[in-house]
Amino acid sequence: MRYADAGYNLEIDLATGNIEKVASNIKDTEDYLGGLGTNAKIIWERVPADAQAFSDDNILIFSAGLLCGTPAYGANRTIITSISPQTKLLAFSMTGGFFAPELKQAGYDKLILKGKSPNWVYIYINNDKVEIRDATHLLGKSTYETLEAIRDEIKDPRAQGLSIGLAGENRVFFASIETHRGSASRLGLGAVMGDKKVKAVVVRGTKDLSLAKPMEFMQECDKVLKYMLYRLENPIKGVPPILSLIGSPQEMLLHDEEWHTNNFAWGNARVRRKNFWNSEIERQWAETQERARKKLISCYNCPIRCAGIIELPGFPTYVMKCYSKITYTMAAMVDSLEFGLKIAAKAQHYGVDGFTTPQVMAFALELYENGILTDSDLEGMPKDSKEEQFFWLLDRIVRREGIGDILADGVYWAARRIGKGAEQFDRNTIKKHEQIPIKLGMLNPIYYIMWSTGEKANITQIEGQLPQAPFPSRELKEEFIKDWIQIPTGKEERFKNFILEWGEEGKNFPFWPSPDLIAELVEWQELMHYVDDSLGLCAGLSSFPLKPPYHIHNLPLFIQYATGIEYDEQKLWNTASRIRNLVRAINIRRGLRREDEKPPEDHWKKRFPEYEQKLLDEYYNYKGWDSRGIPKKETLERLGLGYVAEEFEECGVYNDKA
Amino acid sequence: MELSLKKELGVSEKKKVKFIKIDVDKCHGCRACEVACSAFHAKPKYSTINPARSRIRVYRDELRNVFVPVYASFYTKSECAGRRVYIAEHKEHSPNRAEYIECSFCGAACPSRDLFFEPDSGLPLKCDMCEDDPPVETPWCVKVCPVGALVVEEKEVEVEEEQEKEDEVETGLEALADKYGWDKVIETIVKKVKNE
């Protein structure tokens, strides 16, 4: 009897059409939880180091997290894992919504797609009945239209799906996989799905999912719900409004975008408009948002309404959340929120990443302004309006038409294909992946480590639980730490002192705090994300916001009561470290090394190259990695990853001079 | 007052009945109510989760901004026409969608759709307002709805004696009698009692 996980994976060989229901090993649940953890184990075992995103031997895994389908609030994430066409490293994007719990209810923890289909298909899972169906008639349909059409076809409005649009069909390197409620956007998983000629996967499940200790589990759920409601009524004082609540930053609810617009860079991650936000802009943007937003909605079993249904005349309806609200507006350097919401409608229906896409287009226009791309490269592009140029570029990219074919590879690869100095305009990628455009003054040593070493190459997937700046007064600091229950055992004093001291005389970046405290703070922030990604919990209720409802103290109880497997804080910490190191090992085997781990040159105005390298040395050492960033043999063995160390030795990873 | 006497005097009894009031404007489609309901009614309590067994289901359609919780409530006395009704909005967007759209969001377990039937046995499900011992103050679905889309309300209904709830055993026996005749049913009961 399995509790909390279904105990089976569904494996489909797309080349032969073979469908198998394969039992999973409960020991893997104990050691790797589920979601990202068990996905990483499967990728390590099955995908050869030289397999690329579009190789026959690359696989695409759609996984529920371990707690998905249980009554744990916000446990609804689908973790999609494969190899990225853009970074050539592990890609593990996630989406909220309703797919993962439905997959569990159908009796599976994962759907694993192997090989490539000869023709366009969609996968329809209805409990034990699994079909590979023809999808030729769905080609060209948008992400949303595709799922609508399939629900009509199978006559089941309760089926849940994931789909790609034109961008995925055309293997755009930053194509997303979308649901009606969210998207797995980062690292080009939509292109992998498109390469496998799978237009959509749809699932319907009506089976039971069991809990090992139901009464205890429900009591923990109850406590979490109470705390969530408390946090919603008690925003953190002394931080910007969008950081004061829980959930994904509440940008569909709130209108105050001062923090993003004044602090983040506009255009091709180049310009800061420090005085952009004023009362007139706030009035206009609030009016636009109120008019466009039909309703605030949630994911499965979650009381926090992070997303908004957006509908503007002449544009298809879609569901939007978080910072994508303004990424297009800021990249195009226009003042209109309405433009951003309109182009995002098209982008989401085409199925592209809302972080990367606007930056690719801003990059193209900067190349044009600097004469590197010419009128002949951009033949047919509207001349006067930035907004129209963005719409035009988007249409070219998702179809890979003309210049769009080059831009569809993302900034890093496009710059190298274009040449003629275009590389110099590749100003905001890490590990070949476009980052959130932030260009600040003074080096932040904590963020330096996180930007450099984050395996997902995306800062929001590693940061969390710490304020972005010191609290403005002693009183606010004390108020913040007085009920800061989320800190790991044994770190309370150090972390609370960090908050208290930060901003006082001599206690400022970059040479404060000490490297070991930096390492501890980074490790805590990061490991909690690995826990969420394996449990299928929304980071918005756990690793991302200040004082989240889920933390290192109650999560072991959730795991234990759900699965019946004994868990405590130390064991969960070890498990998270194991998963984190396995993810790194996959990337190390694929060639990731120290020299790839650096933020863009202009990320901060004030840089300290020698000090930065020292910080990185200290951090690697703290993690048990060697000076090239490779996990040492004893580190791997301590975490139960001896098999990784063995392979590293066999294939000479430890001996390479790279 | 004795019920029989009331009947003779023609006095009707007023009884408070709890029901769940649904505010569709507030519902945001998270389906926490389905999760809670199926967990509460599992045996042992909370041991399994399966929204397909839930006595409340949310019809959700993000693109048309339609979020309608429907709970398994009263049966209609006479058979409804079974016509598939759909909201005007739907027609506009996609005329052929009417095929599967809920028929008028009624709360009955009805042969014309798959709502409110046990997935295994096919038996109909009905909301019992989370009847429990000791009694719960608020049904679970209402408790977990943070936006107040579900609210418990009480209304007074007049009950005449005939409308007193029939005993479940009685209903069951009548059904058996319809099928096998009273003689056979009585004979079986007697045999059973003797054996025990």
How much of chain A, in percent, has pLDDT values that exceed 70? 100
Q: How far apart are CA A552 and CA A554, in angstroms?
A: 6
Least-confidence region, from A160-169, A394-403, A538-547, B125-134: B125-134
DSSP alpha helix (H) spans, A155-276? 166-169, 189-195, 214-233, 241-244, 258-263
Mean pLDDT of A556-566: 98
For residue B152, give the 3-state DSSP assignment: strand
The residue segments making up the domain with residue A86 are 8-204
pLDDT for A433 beyond 80: yes
CATH code, domain carrying A559: 1.10.599
Residue A390 is predicted with a pLDDT of 98
Per-residue pLDDT tens digits for A50-74: 999 999 999 999 999 999 999 999 9
Q: How many CB pairs (< 8 A) connect A and B?
A: 102
Q: Is the same domain home to A60 and A157?
A: yes
Q: Is the same domain home to A198 and A61?
A: yes
Mean pLDDT of A284-304: 96
pLDDT for B94 beyond 60: no
Determine, yes or no, domain membership for A289.
Answer: yes
Contact call for residues A253 and A296 (beta carbons, < 8 A): yes
- Of A386, A303, A316, A383, the closest CA to residue A344 belongs to A316
Q: Is the same domain home to A461 and A371?
A: no
Residue B141 is predicted with a pLDDT of 96
Q: How far apart are CA A207 and CA A127, in angstroms?
A: 7
- Please report residues of A whose CB lies closer than 8 A to that of B64: 317
Residue B114 is predicted with a pLDDT of 76
Separation in Å, CA B96 to CA A149, A152, A159, B102? 10, 8, 18, 13
Q: Is the same domain home to A405 and A509?
A: no
pLDDT for A180 beyond 90: no
Residue B76 is predicted with a pLDDT of 57
Q: Is the same domain home to A597 and A461?
A: yes
Residue B110 is predicted with a pLDDT of 76
Residue B4 is predicted with a pLDDT of 53
Q: Is the same domain home to A162 and A278?
A: no
Least-confidence region, from A132-136, A336-340, B39-43, B93-97: B93-97
Determine, yes or no, domain membership for A132.
Answer: yes
Separation in Å, CA B8 to CA A597, B1, B2, B5, B12? 90, 11, 10, 5, 10
- Please report residues of A whose CB lies closer than 8 A to that of B97: 152
Per-residue pLDDT tens digits for A638-651: 999 999 999 999 99
Determine, yes or no, domain membership for A263.
Answer: yes
Higher pLDDT, B180 or A364: A364
The answer to whether residue B46 neighbours chain A at the CB level (below 8 Å) is yes
Mean pLDDT of A336-345: 97
Residue ending a domain, among A400, A429, A458, is A429
- Please report residues of B whose CB lies closer than 8 A to that of A69: 49
Per-residue pLDDT tens digits for B14-54: 788 888 999 989 999 999 999 999 999 999 999 999 999 99
Determine, yes or no, domain membership for A561.
Answer: yes
Residue ending a domain, among A170, A204, A238, is A204
Q: Is the same domain home to A579 and A501?
A: yes
* Chain mean pLDDT for chain A: 96
* Token pair belonging to A63: 């996984």
| ipTM field | 0.95
Bridge partner list, B18:
B154
pLDDT for A372 beyond 80: yes
Residue B178 is predicted with a pLDDT of 82
Mean pLDDT of A354-365: 98
Q: Is the same domain home to A461 and A356?
A: no
Residue B87 is predicted with a pLDDT of 43
Give chain A's domain count: 3
| Cβ neighbours for A630, distance < 8 A, ≥ 6 positions apart | A588, A593, A648, A653, A654
* DSSP-assigned states of every residue in A327-339: HHHHHTT-S-HHH
Q: Is the same domain home to A458 and A579?
A: yes
* Token pair belonging to B42: 């599992």
Determine, yes or no, domain membership for A657.
Answer: no
pLDDT for A311 beyond 80: yes
Nearest to A152 among B39, B49, B96 (CB): B96
**Residues recorded for chain B:** 196
Residue ending a domain, among A376, A402, A429, is A429
Nearest to A214 among B47, B61, B147 (CB): B47
- At B109, the pLDDT band (50, 70, 90 cuts) reads confident
* Token pair belonging to A311: 């509908």
Q: Is the same domain home to A35 and A151?
A: yes
How much of chain A, in percent, has pLDDT values that exceed 90? 94
Looking at beta carbons, which pairs linking B93-96 to residues 24 or more positions away fall under 8 Å? B93/B63, B93/B64, B94/A148, B94/A152, B96/A152
- Of B49, B15, B44, the closest CA to residue A562 belongs to B49
pLDDT for B106 beyond 80: no
Question: Which chain A residue shows the shortest CA-CA distance from B97?
Answer: A152
* Token pair belonging to A368: 């044009």
CB within 8 Å: A105 and B44: no
- At B86, the pLDDT band (50, 70, 90 cuts) reads very low
Residue B92 is predicted with a pLDDT of 46
- Which of B40, B41, B50 best tests the A interface by mutation, with the highest count of A CBs <10 A? B50
Quick check: pTM over 0.95?
no
Q: Is the same domain home to A545 and A631?
A: yes
- At A290, the pLDDT band (50, 70, 90 cuts) reads very high
* Chain mean pLDDT for chain B: 79
Separation in Å, CA A27 to CA A34, A44, A291, A647, B72? 11, 17, 52, 21, 41
Closest-CA distance of chain B to residue A562, Å: 10
Contact call for residues A67 and A562 (beta carbons, < 8 A): yes
* Burial class (CB within 10 angstroms; exposed 0-12, middle 13-18, buried 19+) of A657: exposed
Q: How far apart are CA A111 and CA A122, in angstroms?
A: 13
- Please report residues of A whose CB lies closer than 8 A to that of B67: 295, 297
Determine, yes or no, domain membership for A282.
Answer: yes
How much of chain B, in percent, has pLDDT values that exceed 70? 73
Question: Which chain B residue shows the shortest CA-CA distance from A562?
Answer: B47
The answer to whether residue A300 neighbours chain B at the CB level (below 8 Å) is yes
Q: Is the same domain home to A530 and A407?
A: no
Closest-CA distance of chain B to residue A396, Å: 26
Mean pLDDT of A144-156: 94
Per-residue pLDDT tens digits for B142-182: 999 989 999 999 888 776 555 455 677 787 788 788 888 89
Mean pLDDT of A259-269: 93
pLDDT for B83 beyond 70: no
Residue B75 is predicted with a pLDDT of 64
Per-residue pLDDT tens digits for A206-257: 999 999 999 999 999 999 999 999 999 999 999 998 889 998 888 888 899 9
Determine, yes or no, domain membership for A242.
Answer: no
Determine, yes or no, domain membership for A528.
Answer: yes
- Of A129, A276, A271, A115, the closest CA to residue A198 belongs to A115
CATH code, domain carrying A38: 3.60.9.10
Residue A469 is predicted with a pLDDT of 94
